[in-house]
C-alpha cells in the first residue's frame, strides 16, 4: 500500500455533549478507493467534513500529503488538493459546462474571455476522464448523473488529488450509476485518492479497495473489501442487537377499495388501471423514469407538474379532479415525494417547522403558535424515531435517514385515507430502511391504502403485499408479492420473460 495522502489520527468531536466522533483513525492512499459506511448518525458526515476542513476536531489531527493540520480550513484543504463533491449538486444551472468547469479561471486574451480556448480546455478536461458530454450544453439540461460527472471533472481540473464523493449514485438508475463507477475507476488509475460514501453496500463491495465501518461515532473496523461479504458488513454496521426481522405482517387483511385509478393517461403512463384497498400496500414497479414516476404529479394535484390527459381518480368513493391540490388533500390523499430536499422539505428550516408544515397547511397557515409547534414536534420525533445532535437543527444538517423520517412524519402524522410513497427508502442506510418499512406497515395496519411508486426491486419485495409492474407506461404484470420471486420481478422490469 502506498504512503497515505490523507490521514486522520485520534479524531474526536462533540456537539453539546454528544460524541459525534471518538478516537477515529483513517488513512487514504493515492490511487485507492476507501469507502466509509455506517448507519445514519454513525458519524460519516462529521468525518468527511473534518477531512475537508468544514469541522475542526476537538482532539486529534488531519495529515494531508504528510503535513499535519490541527485546524484545517476549507481554503487550506483546497490548497492541499482536497475537495468534496456533495450529493446535492452545485453546478450553476444557467451556465454552460465550459463556464462551470472553468468558473473563476476562464482564459482571457487582451482583457476578454477567449471562448475558443475555454471550450478546448473544458473538452480536454472531460475527455481525459472519458466523459462524453457536449461542453456547450447548459447545466440545467443535464441529468443527475451528468451533473455529478461534470462536478468531479471540475475538481480534478482544479488539481484536486483527494476527492470525497458523498452518495454520488443516490437516486440514480443502474445505468447511470455505472457511469459514475467507471469514472471512479478512472480516477483510481490516475492515482487520485477517493473517499467514497454510500448506503449501497453492494456498490461499496464492488468498487472499494478498503472499507471503514463507523458505528455510534467510533471506527468499528477497517478491512479490505475482498475480505468481507454483505452479511458481515451489515453486522459490523448495525450490531446483531439492532437487526430486525423483515417478515411481512401476515395478519393484515385488505379491506374495501379506497384508491381507484381508471384509464389514467399522462406522459409515459398509458391507460393505467389500479385499485388499492384499505390496509393494503400495492407497489407500482418500473425502470427508473418509467410510468410510475407520473403518479406523484398526477395524484398530488400539483399544478405545473402534470395533469391527466384522460382517466379518472377516485378516493374513498369520490372523484378527485386532476390538478387540484385542495381536492386531493380534502379526500385524505397524502403524496410523499422521492425528492425530499427538492420538493418535500425546506432545507434551511428547522426540524420542528418542517414537521408542522403540512399540519399548518391543512388548518390555518397564517396562525403559528410556536409553543404548540415545538410540543407537537417533540411527540412526533419520538413516534417516528427522528434523532439529531442539536435540539432543532436545519433539516439539511440531518442524515438522509432522519430527513426521510421527517418527510414521512410531516405527511403521514395526519388523517390519511390513501397515500403515495415515491421511492421511500431511497438513499438511506439499512437500519433506516427497516424503520421506514415499519412506519409504512403501521400506516397500512391502521387502514390506509398505501401506493408505492418504485424502481427498486428490493424495496418492493421488502414492503409490498402486491406488485404491479409497468414498462413503457403499460402494465405488464399484476401479482401478489408472495407469488413472484425477486428474479422474476427483475426480469419483468428489464423486459425479460417469466412464466405466468
Task: Quote the pLDDT of residue 365.
Answer: 60
For 248, phi then psi, to 5°, come to: -75, 155
pLDDT at 342: 82
pLDDT of res. 16: 65
Tell me which residues of the chain have a pLDDT lower than 70.
1-2, 16-17, 40, 171, 238-252, 288-289, 302-307, 363-367, 389, 494-500
Residue-level pLDDT at 490: 73
Q: What was the pLDDT predicted at 302?
A: 64
pLDDT of residue 137: 94
Q: Does domain 4-91+142-240 have CATH number 3.60.10.10?
A: no
Please name the residue that has the C-alpha cell 481525459: 128
Domain with CATH 3.40.50.300 in the chain: 4-91+142-240, 257-494
Angle at which helices 400-412 and 430-445 cross, to 10°:
10
Distances (CA, A) of 67 to 54, 64, 276: 18, 5, 61
- Look at residue 497 in the predicted model and tell me its pLDDT: 43
Note whether 191 and 3 are within 8 A (CB): no
Architecture of domain 257-494: 3-Layer(aba) Sandwich (3.40)
**Sign of the dihedral through C-alpha 16, 17, 23, 26:** negative
Amino acid at each position: 500500500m502506498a504512503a497515505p495522502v490523507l490521514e486522520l489520527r485520534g479524531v474526536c468531536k462533540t456537539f453539546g455533549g454528544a460524541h459525534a466522533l471518538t478516537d477515529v483513525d483513517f488513512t487514504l492512499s493515492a490511487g485507492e478507493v476507501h469507502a466509509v459506511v455506517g448507519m445514519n448518525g454513525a458519524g460519516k458526515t462529521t468525518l468527511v467534513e473534518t477531512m475537508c476542513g468544514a469541522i475542526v476536531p476537538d482532539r486529534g489531527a488531519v495529515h494531508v500529503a504528510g503535513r499535519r493540520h490541527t485546524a484545517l480550513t476549507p481554503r487550506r484543504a483546497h490548497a492541499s488538493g482536497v475537495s468534496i463533491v456533495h450529493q446535492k449538486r452545485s453546478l450553476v444551472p444557467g451556465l454552460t459546462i465550459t463556464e462551470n468547469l472553468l468558473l473563476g479561471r476562464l482564459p482571457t486574451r487582451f482583457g476578454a474571455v477567449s471562448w475558443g480556448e475555454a471550450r478546448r480546455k473544458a473538452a480536454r478536461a472531460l475527455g481525459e476522464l472519458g466523459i462524453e458530454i457536449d461542453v456547450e450544453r447548459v447545466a440545467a439540461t443535464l441529468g443527475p448523473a451528468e451533473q455529478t460527472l461534470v462536478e468531479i471533472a471540475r475538481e480534478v481540473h482544479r488539481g484536486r488529488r483527494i476527492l470525497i464523493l458523498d452518495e454520488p449514485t443516490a437516486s440514480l438508475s443502474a445505468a447511470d450509476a455505472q457511469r459514475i463507477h467507471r469514472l471512479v475507476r478512472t480516477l483510481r488509475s490516475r492515482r487520485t485518492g477517493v473517499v467514497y460514501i454510500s448506503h449501497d453496500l453492494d456498490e461499496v463491495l464492488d468498487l472499494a479497495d478498503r472499507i471503514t465501518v463507523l458505528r455510534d461515532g467510533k471506527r468499528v473496523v477497517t478491512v479490505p473489501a475482498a475480505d468481507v461479504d454483505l452479511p458481515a458488513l451489515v453486522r459490523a454496521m448495525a450490531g446483531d442487537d439492532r437487526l430486525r426481522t423483515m417478515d411481512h405482517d401476515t395478519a393484515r387483511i385488505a379491506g374495501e377499495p379506497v384508491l381507484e385509478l381508471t384509464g389514467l393517461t399522462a406522459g409515459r403512463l398509458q391507460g393505467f388501471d389500479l385499485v388499492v384497498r384499505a390496509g393494503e400496500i400495492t407497489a407500482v414497479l418500473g425502470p427508473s423514469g418509467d410510468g410510475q414516476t407520473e403518479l406523484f404529479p398526477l395524484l398530488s394535484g400539483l399544478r405545473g407538474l402534470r395533469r391527466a390527459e384522460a382517466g379518472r381518480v377516485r378516493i374513498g368513493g369520490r372523484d378527485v379532479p386532476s390538478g387540484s391540490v385542495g381536492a386531493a388533500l380534502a379526500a385524505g390523499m397524502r403524496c410523499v415525494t422521492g425528492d425530499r430536499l427538492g420538493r418535500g422539505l425546506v432545507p434551511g428550516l428547522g426540524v420542528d417547522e418542517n414537521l408542522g408544515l403540512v399540519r399548518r397547511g391543512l388548518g390555518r397557515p397564517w396562525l403559528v403558535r410556536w409553543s404548540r409547534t415545538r410540543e407537537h414536534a417533540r411527540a412526533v420525533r419520538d413516534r417516528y424515531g427522528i434523532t439529531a445532535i442539536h435540539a432543532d437543527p436545519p433539516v439539511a444538517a440531518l442524515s438522509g435517514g432522519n430527513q426521510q423520517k421527517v418527510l414521512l412524519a410531516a405527511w403521514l402524522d395526519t388523517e390519511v385515507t390513501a397515500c403515495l410513497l415515491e421511492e421511500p427508502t431511497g438513499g438511506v442506510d439499512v437500519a433506516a430502511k427497516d424503520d421506514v418499512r415499519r412506519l409504512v406497515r403501521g400506516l397500512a395496519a391502521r387502514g390506509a391504502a398505501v401506493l408505492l411508486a418504485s424502481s427498486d426491486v428490493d424495496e418492493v419485495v421488502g414492503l409490498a403485499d402486491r406488485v404491479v409492474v409497468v414498462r413503457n407506461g403499460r402494465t405488464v404484470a399484476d401479482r401478489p408479492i408472495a407469488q413472484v420471486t425477486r428474479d422474476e420481478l427483475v426480469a419483468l422490469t428489464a423486459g425479460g420473460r417469466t412464466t405466468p
